[in-house]
Amino acid sequence: MANAAILVIGNEILSGRTQDSNVAYLGKELAARGITLAEVRIVRDDPAAIVAALNALRAAYTYVFTSGGIGPTHDDITSAAVARTFGVALERNPEAVRRLQSRYGEGELNAARLKMAEIPAGAQLVDNPISQAPGFRLDNVFVMAGVPSILRAMFEGIRHTLAEGPPQLSRSVTLGVREGDLAEGLTRIQDRHPEVDVGSYPSFTEGRSLVAIVARGTDAARLEQVMAETRALAAELGAAVSEG
């Protein structure tokens, strides 16, 4: 089965100023296509950190998606770092220039904006229907914008090029119980269904303990079976059950 990693590039995520939302979006979209998101790394706007992370991830996973750092300002260094990772030149890409020209008037296409047309040699462009400045693909690495609306639009354009497996499905139920009272019975359910990934996620609201049980896998009937057994366990424990 194909798997994937995400490399998020940006000081603003690590400083806590900006809350990342691209990981959750891509995690769901990849699962729907049958691709497991296996690892995420978030690194600073630092060329050496980007190169090291990219080299590790592209060797380990089917696909790598990067987010962030491909804009026109001085802190946008992703394209240069990707070129360095692959040992290729950063070149002005004529098709990328043409796309920027379609958006910006002659006087507006300044040096900063032309920087967005500097693409590693040999890369294929990824469409950006929102602001035209393209992403790109080089080998198994897809380089995308960090702005969530643009990342999503870019991913829409490339998703059909990715391997497709049986979609990863999930079913969940929330129980009004403490996790430690549920654990033993839940282990038995997991042991009976080794091909299902049974997860247990506690939360505490207004002094009340809740546990969400999530079953993930590719066989819908199996997941329903796990949910039925979880509901039976809840009944045994006298726990309230709510959906989702």
Residues that bind a second copy (CB under 8 A): 8, 11-21, 23-29, 31, 36-45, 49, 71-75, 104, 108, 110-113, 115-116, 130-131, 147, 149, 168, 170, 172, 179-184, 186-187, 190, 197-204, 214, 216
CB of 143 to a second copy, least distance (A): 17
| Helix, strand, or coil (residue 230) | helix
Cβ nearer to a second copy, comparing 142 with 168 = 168
Cβ nearer to a second copy, comparing 140 with 200 = 200
Cβ nearer to a second copy, comparing 161 with 187 = 187
CB of 230 to a second copy, least distance (A): 12
CA distance 241 to 199: 16
CA distance 44 to 242: 41
CB of 198 to a second copy, least distance (A): 7
CB of 122 to a second copy, least distance (A): 26
| Helix, strand, or coil (residue 112) | helix
- The string of DSSP letters for 142-210 reads EEE-SSHHHHHHHHHHHGGGS---S--EEEEEEEES-HHHHHHHHHHHHHH-TTSEEEEEEEEETTEEE
| Helix, strand, or coil (residue 70) | coil
Cβ nearer to a second copy, comparing 137 with 178 = 178
CB of 125 to a second copy, least distance (A): 18
Cβ nearer to a second copy, comparing 123 with 210 = 210
Angle, helix 78-86 to helix 47-60, in steps of 10 degrees:
50
